[in-house]
Amino acid sequence: MVPEILTAVYSDRRTWLRLWLVASLLALWPVFAGRAVSAQEGARPEDLRIQQMRVQVMPEFDDPRVLVMVQGRAIAYEHQYPVTITFRVPAGAQINQMATVNMDSAGATMEAYEARPDPEDGRWQLVSYELGGAHFFYEYYYDPIVGEREKAFTYLLSSYHPVDEVTVEIQEPKGAEAFRTMPEAVSSRVDETLRLAYHGIEVGALKAGEEASIVVNYSKSGSEPSLTWEQVMALQEGKRPPAVTGSGTESSGFSMRTEMMVFVGGALLIFVGVFVGYRLRLGEASERNPEAYCRMCGAGLKAEANYCHQCGVMVMPGAADQEQTAAAEVRTRRPSGGRRQTI
């Protein structure tokens, strides 16, 4: 029974071609469907989490305000990128950039973003953009500092997505005295290039919508920044925003490689199906009437045409007559005795 069915399907070449094309489309469907869902819906808060986030808070760095630089690694649902990622930024902050970081080149690609007021809390604005890969970077200025000489501000971090691990570094301004934070820093380091001290605080995990706060106090006369803009540009020339590494990079790469293999395999299936269909069309055209169809593309030839109107190939004049003559000569031959014999 099974051999008879297979024979029937194979004999119907059009049915076989349709089945081949359907199988090819099914092979490509997971790739297209995944990207379509990602592009149309983006990542919901519950489908996207931030694995690691490093925040640098830099008061009076190259501006009298506070510069905040944030970098980290996001984990998207089923590793589908690009995804829409959202961050809470203080209302009225000046956003410098939202970017995707390329781990291979250590370069950052600036992304177009949308900023809108947080409908649930007027202190914040929600800034969203399409994250092209796992690693993100963004920065902004805002002005929370109060006081003339005895200065203080409270840095607030509110995450739109859940975060597994948060580390915050507070930079100590040049010339500051009695610098302290609450909670207290657990580590300190000096940037040898900038000649400025950083104090590290381990925040830990944050749930979506959860807040963390750090109070900063120090004494400093005036509001002169630690570095001028020209000094910052000279120091940063040729450098890229650093990217935070984290576990899971291999699984993300494996996901991308698997997706590429599926895509290439499906494309090859479609190519083979189209090629087989083309050959079947030529075969059918030849079986119907060799003289009336183009030898190259199988299109029906117009009467007394010198060139095929479909593909442009030259029509061989008298080809059919030559084939018939050659066939007649094969069917008959003259024996050595001079008598004509039909074979």
pLDDT at position 267 is 67
- pLDDT tier for residue 241 given thresholds of 50, 70 and 90: very low
pLDDT at position 42 is 41
Euclidean distance between CA atoms 216 and 183, whole angstroms: 9
Other beta carbons within 10 angstroms of residue 39's beta carbon come to 13
Which residue type, as a one-letter code, is found at position 137? F
Other beta carbons within 10 angstroms of residue 153's beta carbon come to 20
Euclidean distance between CA atoms 209 and 278, whole angstroms: 59
pLDDT at position 157 is 97
- Residue 116's φ and ψ, nearest 5 degrees, are -145, 150
Sheet with strand 124-131: strands edge to edge: 83-90, 124-131, 113-117
pLDDT at position 226 is 93
For the stretch 292-331, pLDDT in tens is 667 667 777 776 666 676 666 666 554 444 444 444 444 4
Euclidean distance between CA atoms 210 and 163, whole angstroms: 10
For the stretch 167-195, pLDDT in tens is 999 999 999 999 999 999 999 999 988 88
pLDDT at position 76 is 83
Buried residues in 73-107 as b, exposed as e (16+ CB within 10 A): bbbbeebbbbbbbbbbbbeebebebbbbbebeeee
- Residue 185's φ and ψ, nearest 5 degrees, are -70, 145
Q: At 247, list the tokens.
A: 């576990």
pLDDT at position 232 is 77
Higher-confidence residue: 156 or 78?
Answer: 156
pLDDT at position 193 is 84
From 69-78, 116-125, 179-188, 264-273, the region with the lowest mean pLDDT: 264-273
From 125-134, 169-178, 243-252, 274-283, the region with the lowest mean pLDDT: 243-252
| Structural domain boundaries in the chain | 45-246, 289-342
For the stretch 9-68, pLDDT in tens is 445 555 655 665 556 656 555 544 444 444 334 445 457 899 999 999 999 999 999 999
CB-side neighbour CA atoms (13 Å) of 101? 19
Euclidean distance between CA atoms 33 and 116, whole angstroms: 29
Euclidean distance between CA atoms 228 and 194, whole angstroms: 12
Fold of the 45-246 domain: Immunoglobulin-like (2.60.40)
- pLDDT tier for residue 229 given thresholds of 50, 70 and 90: confident
pLDDT at position 236 is 66
Percentage of residues of the chain with pLDDT beyond 70: 56
Higher-confidence residue: 314 or 126?
Answer: 126
Compute the Cα dihedral for 337, 340, 342, 343 and give only its sign: positive
Other beta carbons within 10 angstroms of residue 11's beta carbon come to 9
pTM of the shown model: 0.58
For the stretch 70-114, pLDDT in tens is 999 999 876 688 999 999 999 999 999 999 998 777 788 999 999
Euclidean distance between CA atoms 94 and 273, whole angstroms: 55
pLDDT at position 325 is 46
Higher-confidence residue: 154 or 262?
Answer: 154
